[in-house]
Structure 1
Amino acid sequence: MLSELVYTRKGSGEPLVLIHGIGHRRQAWNPVLDALAESYDVIAVDLAGFGESPAYPESASYDMDSACDNLADNFARWGVDRPHVVGNSLGGAIALELGARGLARSVTALSPAGFFGVLNRVQTLVLLVVLRLSSQLPVGALRLLSRSGWGRKLAGASLYTHPERFTADEVLGDALALKRCQGFERTIVKGVRYAFRARVHVPTTIAWGTRDLILPYSSSAIAQERLPEARHVALPHCGHVPMIDDPALIVRVIENTVARTQESAAA
Structure 2
Amino acid sequence: MTTLHHTRQGSGEPVVLIHGIGHHGPAWGEVTDLLAQTNDVVVVDLPGHGRSPAPTKPQSYAVDSVLDQLEGLFADLGLGRPHVVGNSLGGYFALGLAGRGSVATATALSPASFWTALELYGITGPQLLTMKFSTYSPEPVLKLFADREPLRKLSMASLYAHPERLTPERALADSLNLRRSKGFWPFFVRAATRPLKRETPKVPVTIGWGDKDRLLIPKQARRAAEKLPTARIETLSGCGHVPMLDDPQAVVDLVRSTITAVERTPAAVTA
Identify the TM-score tier after normalising by the shorter chain: over 0.9
- 1:33-75 per-position Cα deviation (integer Å, ceiling 9, x unaligned): 1110011100111111001110112775422101100111111
* 4+ residue segments displaced more than 3 Å: 58-61
- 1:176-227 per-position Cα deviation (integer Å, ceiling 9, x unaligned): 1001110111111112133343200101001111111110001111101110
Q: Cα gap change, 1:148/1:234 in structure 2, threshold over 3 Å: closer, same or farther?
A: same
Contact 2:100 2:199 in 1 (8 A): no
Identity of aligned residues (%): 46
Contact 2:109 2:207 in 1 (8 A): yes
Which has the larger displacement, 103-112 or 136-145?
Answer: 136-145
Contact 1:63 1:191 in 2 (8 A): no
Superposed, which structure 2 residues align to 1:6-25 within 5 Å? 6-25=5-24
How far off its partner does 1:84 sit? 0.2
- 1:2-58 per-position Cα deviation (integer Å, ceiling 9, x unaligned): x51111211000110000000000001112111100111001111110011101127
Equivalent residue number for residue 180 of structure 1: 180
Which has the larger displacement, 94-103 or 135-144?
Answer: 135-144
How many Å separate the matches in 2 of 1:54 and 1:233? 34
Equivalent residue number for residue 206 of structure 2: 205
How many Å separate the matches in 2 of 1:59 and 1:124? 31
Q: Cα gap change, 1:128/1:89 in structure 2, threshold over 3 Å: closer, same or farther?
A: same
How many Å separate the matches in 1 of 2:84 and 2:160? 22
Matched, 1:254 2:255: yes
2:215 aligned partner, one-letter code: I
How far off its partner does 1:262 sit? 2.0
Could you list the runs of 5+ residues in structure 1 that have no partner in the other structure? none
How far off its partner does 1:95 sit? 0.2
Equivalent residue number for residue 128 of structure 2: 128
Equivalent residue number for residue 117 of structure 1: 116
2:130 aligned partner, one-letter code: V
- 1:83-123 per-position Cα deviation (integer Å, ceiling 9, x unaligned): 10000000000000001011110000000001111221111
2:265 aligned partner, one-letter code: S
Q: Cα gap change, 1:174/1:11 in structure 2, threshold over 3 Å: closer, same or farther?
A: same
How many Å separate the matches in 2 of 1:173 and 1:38? 26
Equivalent residue number for residue 30 of structure 1: 29
How many Å separate the matches in 2 of 1:12 and 1:105? 17
What secondary structure is seen at the aligned counterpart in 1 of 2:101? coil
TM-score of the aligned structures, taking structure 1 as reference length:
0.96
Could you list the runs of 5+ residues in structure 2 that have no partner in the other structure? none
How many Å separate the matches in 2 of 1:258 and 1:179? 35
How far off its partner does 1:266 sit? 8.6
How many Å separate the matches in 1 of 2:267 and 2:96? 25
Q: Cα gap change, 1:196/1:208 in structure 2, threshold over 3 Å: closer, same or farther?
A: farther
How many Å separate the matches in 2 of 1:194 and 1:14? 34
Contact 2:207 2:232 in 1 (8 A): yes
How many Å separate the matches in 2 of 1:59 and 1:9? 27
1:35 aligned partner, one-letter code: L
2:83 aligned partner, one-letter code: H
Superposed, which structure 2 residues align to 1:159-178 within 5 Å? 159-178=159-178
Superposed, which structure 2 residues align to 1:1-267 within 5 Å? 4-57=3-56, 60-122=59-121, 123-192=123-192, 193-265=194-266
1:135 aligned partner, one-letter code: T
- 1:161-183 per-position Cα deviation (integer Å, ceiling 9, x unaligned): 10001111000000010011101
What secondary structure is seen at the aligned counterpart in 2 of 1:23? coil
- What is the total number of aligned residue pairs between the two structures? 266
How many Å separate the matches in 2 of 1:120 and 1:58? 33
